Amino acid sequence: MTKRVCVVKGDDAAPEVVVPTVQILEGMNLDIEFIRVETGDEALARYGSSFPESAKKTLDEANYAIMGSTRDIRGVHGYLRWGKRCFANVRPTKYVSGLRSPLKNPEGIDFIILRENIEGLYPGWEGDIAQLAPLKLKSDMLDVMLDTAPKGKFAVKVYTEAITRETCQVACELAMKRKAKGGRGIVTVSSKYNVLTQVDEMFRRIAEETVRQYPELTFNQLIIDNCAQQLVINPQQFDVLIMGNQHGDILADEASALIGGLGMTPNACLGKEFAYFGSVHGTAPDIAGQNIINPTAMLLAGAMLLEHLGYEEEASGLEAAVYKVYQDGKYLTRDQGGNASTTQFGEAVRANL
């Protein structure tokens, strides 16, 4: 059956990477229908809303999207992430020769950060600390009451057992899939379980329980601050990492620096009924309209989409075509030390396919 993939172009410079990526994917003549969704500035001009009902309807009729970054976390991005409950954010970091790593020895870096995507601190449940007064909160660690008299703010961090377990299951399935292709089958959970002995410890415990259900996998745990330094000291030790929302957000950006930065890293957001794919970087407004944005992240997101849809060979082919541009070194974009345009990079990928 033809797979329907919605195309959300995103804002500012994002369409400059989404459009050529979709052109390349369409050129592969697979059984995929790409459906344009009108959002952002063009929808605002036409319908008076950057996320009109018609866009929502189109997304509701599909199960997949390729998405350019948007300026606003609400609107279409919020709808896909929270509305469609895409709870598992897969963020791969892989070094291949030709990439610009700040490390002396980046050979062999190949891991995935599986970040829980809809809970933790990011739903943004915040308020004035005075509102907490009726709770008479006492510290778990010390015999100290929360003084709600001074002016200040709080944020609530929530992990539910169900979403944590489902996130960990996705991580284990990924680790199994990677193991079948020669991966090491190591799943590392990282949180601040030594200090947040309830919420972060529950996250750690559920990860351990889940990994133990897969005898082929090895369980590992690291306190998040140690994990941050291990990513720099010895990133080759990692295979699949599981992290909560904020920790994964921060450490996955750190990880992307190991292979040349945000322009290089794609991600997938998986839910039970919907999955969307895109770049980790933002809308890059400072370079919009100049045809210089690096399309690597979006092209690799296209490869992740193909793999997710079962087109494994085509996914590997596209990934190899992108990496060959780096091995040849002739058509690199500015952020990678070259002076090729976005269009030239895309043409080089096409020629390698």
Nearer to ligand ATP, 13 or 168 (CB): 13
**Stretch in the footprint of ligand ATP (CB under 6 A) among 45-53, 133-141, 198-206, 278-286:** 278-286
Question: Pairing state of beta strands 110-116 and 88-94?
Answer: antiparallel
Task: Find the binder of ligand ATP among 123, 183, 282, 338 (CB under 6 A).
Answer: 282
Task: Find the binder of ligand ATP among 9, 115, 178, 281 (CB under 6 A).
Answer: 281
Residue nearest to ligand ATP (CB): 282
Question: Pairing state of beta strands 266-270 and 275-279?
Answer: antiparallel
Q: Is 24 exposed, middle or buried (0-12, 13-18, 19+ CB in 10 A)?
A: buried
User: Do the Cβ atoms of 348 and 325 come closer than 8 Å?
Assistant: yes
**Stretch in the footprint of ligand ATP (CB under 6 A) among 92-100, 142-150, 228-236, 279-287:** 279-287
Q: What is the CA radius of gyration of the chain?
A: 21
Nearer to ligand ATP, 284 or 348 (CB): 284
State in angstroms the smallest separation of the CB of 237 from ligand ATP.
Answer: 28
Tell me how many degrees the CA angle 341-342-345 measures, rounded to the nearest 5.
85
- Alpha-carbon dihedral sign for residues 125, 270, 227, 97: negative
State in angstroms the smallest separation of the CB of 113 from ligand ATP.
Answer: 16
**Stretch in the footprint of ligand ATP (CB under 6 A) among 98-106, 173-181, 207-215, 282-290:** 282-290
Determine if 325 is a binding residue for ligand ATP (CB under 6 A).
no
Determine if 287 is a binding residue for ligand ATP (CB under 6 A).
yes
Cα gap 336→323, rounded to integer Å = 13
Cα gap 164→150, rounded to integer Å = 34
Task: Find the binder of ligand ATP among 266, 294, 301, 346 (CB under 6 A).
Answer: 294
Cα gap 67→19, rounded to integer Å = 10
State in angstroms the smallest separation of the CB of 297 from ligand ATP.
Answer: 6
Helices 15-27 and 342-352: angle between axes, nearest 10 degrees: 20
Determine if 50 is a binding residue for ligand ATP (CB under 6 A).
no
Task: Find the binder of ligand ATP among 171, 217, 284, 301 (CB under 6 A).
Answer: 284
Three-class secondary structure of residue 150 per DSSP: coil
Cα gap 36→5, rounded to integer Å = 9
User: Do the Cβ atoms of 21 and 301 come closer than 8 Å?
Assistant: yes
Nearer to ligand ATP, 307 or 335 (CB): 335
Task: Find the binder of ligand ATP among 186, 199, 293, 340 (CB under 6 A).
Answer: 293
Q: Is 242 exposed, middle or buried (0-12, 13-18, 19+ CB in 10 A)?
A: buried
Return the residues of window 243-262 that contact ligand ATP according to CB under 6 A.
262
Return the residues of window 51-70 that contact ligand ATP according to CB under 6 A.
69
Determine if 11 is a binding residue for ligand ATP (CB under 6 A).
no
Three-class secondary structure of residue 6 per DSSP: strand
State in angstroms the smallest separation of the CB of 340 from ligand ATP.
Answer: 12
Nearer to ligand ATP, 53 or 286 (CB): 286
Task: Find the binder of ligand ATP among 11, 38, 239, 335 (CB under 6 A).
Answer: 335
Determine if 25 is a binding residue for ligand ATP (CB under 6 A).
no
Determine if 228 is a binding residue for ligand ATP (CB under 6 A).
no
- Which residues, 6+ apart, have CB-to-CB distance to 66 below 8 Å? 5, 6, 7, 8, 18, 21, 22, 25, 34, 276, 277, 278, 298, 301, 302, 305
Determine if 85 is a binding residue for ligand ATP (CB under 6 A).
no
Which residues contact ligand ATP (rule: CB under 6 A)?
A: 69, 262-263, 281-284, 286-287, 293-294, 297, 335
